[in-house]
Amino acid sequence: MSGNGLAPRQAADVPAPDGAERAPHARPGVRFGVLGPMEVFAPGAGDLPVTPQAPKIRVVLGALLVRANDIVSADALIDELWGDAPPRTATTTLQVYVSQLRKLLHRADPHGGRAALVTRRPGYLLRVAPGGLDLTEFEELHARGGAAMERGDFAAAAHLERRALALWRGPLLCDTPHGTLLGSAAVRLSDLRITAVERRVRADLGLGRHGDLVAELQELATQFPMREVIHELLMVALYRSGRQADALRAFDRISRTLAEELNITPGPRLGRLHRRIRAGDPALLHPADRERLPARPPAVQLPARDPLFTGRDDVLPAVVDKLLGAAAEGGHVAVTGMAGVGKTALALAAAHRSAPLFPDGRLFLGLRSAAGEPLTAAQAVEQLLRQLGAPVPPRGGGREAQALLARLWEGRRALLLLDDVASAEQVRALLPTSLGSAALLTGRRPPAGLEGLRTVVLRVPGAREAARIFAAAAGVPAEDPAVAEVVELCGRLPRALRLAAERLRGAGAAGLAERLDADRAGLRELGRRVLLAAYEHAAVAERRAFRLLATARARPFGPAAAAAVLGIDPAAAESAAESLVAAGLLGRHDPAHGSEGPYRLHPLSQLLALEH
């Protein structure tokens, strides 16, 4: 395919227009390529290829490269290599692969290759110098293209996006087996690649090149039949080329496709464009009508990345993947689970990791007051308008405020993280409506009544993962036997583990057991306090069912056992158990529960139930 930005290495040597920033040419150290088949080159003028041939070695290297300069846990690498069936020797075998990678890097660069691959609890980190990885170079150029677009410099934006797209040689690591980590990275970067194409085309439209773009956009519309932005750009290019009828037919095609495939109609942005073309709007004929977004800097108001966040390697990629789907197809994502299970920390990690998907802003809004009460819908709208720097209408969160908020989202690719959602009514007016934007919600249960909501249920971590969470926060080895006891006293709840780490910090590995002996009751109380929050927010009927089950059941159970305890029929008992799961007072039993049943109580549940 030619001219669409998806062909390999095109336009790499186009001179930069005036105003376009030029990247430095120095490329120290080993150079890596992942945007296509894997490439590894030794430093020096000869560009000597030293790419590993063994598939397992490529998997480990690929996983480290897509998370370059960040820690990738050993558990995540083991999952990437063997999925759900790792061998008993998985940890030792992984260490062998890492050792072989260090030897390869040393052969490629005797001066610094071996030192680039660092063991860093709970896994490994691969240091890559600036200019040493095509992926980071692509993301940097794409971000600079977005900044140029914001300031209305279409020539610079088009040039930067062409350079970014020229780095692609094929799908991400197309010669390397993909597990969960690489698979989610491939989906994310595929979307980012087509976003770069869209931005480059939009910049070219701003430069009046519509006649040259029609054939390319028709090909892209065939390749991406349900991507509305592509069809919007095609309609504009056709209309400006004097082909009004063809522009209207392009709208008819995507309308039929969306109706047949998804039973939906085109979004409001495409609908408005269709009405303008049908009316023969003369303002749409001129590039000066501005393909650029309103001149407003991207809003980035997320809390800082948590330096102690660790674990959740099984679920973090799933949240990022669902955000990608929500941005591309419409909808939003909810992370739900019991109190203290780490929903906010996971959502923040996902928001930071998916930042390239949302170049026009990432915002955070907590939905409880300082006193802990849920904000009303009007209060939430008012707070969000203030965060966006917009004037708040005199009547707070009424229709005028909601309409203003909808206009601010229009045409944006932004992420809104809404923390501790109480209900759908509280957040409905806040949600971004433009394609390319999404909301990420956290709460104890999914807000009923929100369309297109993709839900991730966050469960209490396993013992090994909980030990890693505590060890990272306390600065002690996860393998210390005292750590395992702390983990169980806190019921493996991440919030309680963080509080315990603060309480025990400074004891060090040698003093941890001694401090633990003196403070077992205090640590158990931490876990109980975190669980108590879920109990206090539950309905009266849910509290009663919880107390009965907690005092009668110690092992995982099913609807029949619950029915016997609650004195109701199994169908009603299953409904009650599901309600407790949604309230965060009951968990699902993992792995396959066999004859025991699908539900499990938290280890501290009985202690809490006896108090109430």
Write the pLDDT tens digit of every residue in 52-89.
999 999 999 999 999 998 889 998 899 999 988 899 99
Q: Higher confidence at residue 105 or residue 517?
A: 105
> What is the rounded average pLDDT of the residues 269-273?
86
pLDDT of 10: 37
Q: Which of 227-236, 462-471, 519-528 has the lowest mean pLDDT?
A: 519-528
pLDDT of 63: 94
> What is the rounded average pLDDT of the residues 414-419?
92
Q: Are the C-beta atoms of 200 and 158 separated by less than 8 Å?
A: yes
Phi, psi (5° rounding) for residue 602? -65, 145
Enclosing H/E stretch for 583: helix 570-583
pLDDT of 268: 80
**Which candidate, 201, 199, 191, places its Cα nearest to that of 227?**
191
Per DSSP bridges, beta strands 453-457 and 599-600 are unpaired
pLDDT of 201: 94
**Which candidate, 590, 272, 604, places its Cα nearest to that of 457?**
590
Kindly indicate the confidence band of residue 24, based on its pLDDT and cuts at 50, 70 and 90. very low
> What is the rounded average pLDDT of the residues 497-508?
74
Kindly indicate the confidence band of residue 234, based on its pLDDT and cuts at 50, 70 and 90. very high
Q: How far is 396 from 386, CA to CA, in rounded Å?
A: 11
Please give the model's pTM, rounded to 2 decimal places.
0.57
Q: Higher confidence at residue 117 or residue 26?
A: 117
Q: How far is 413 from 323, CA to CA, in rounded Å?
A: 12
Max avg pLDDT among 27-31, 61-65, 382-386, 561-565: 61-65
Would you say residue 434 has pLDDT above 70? yes
pLDDT of 4: 43
Q: Which of 231-235, 392-396, 522-526 has the lowest mean pLDDT?
A: 392-396
Would you say residue 332 has pLDDT above 60? yes
CA angle 168, 172, 177 (to 5 degrees): 150
**Which candidate, 258, 230, 276, places its Cα nearest to that of 266?**
258
Q: pLDDT, tens digit, for every residue of 124-173?
A: 999 998 889 999 999 999 988 887 887 778 889 999 999 999 999 999 99
Average pLDDT of the residues of the chain: 81
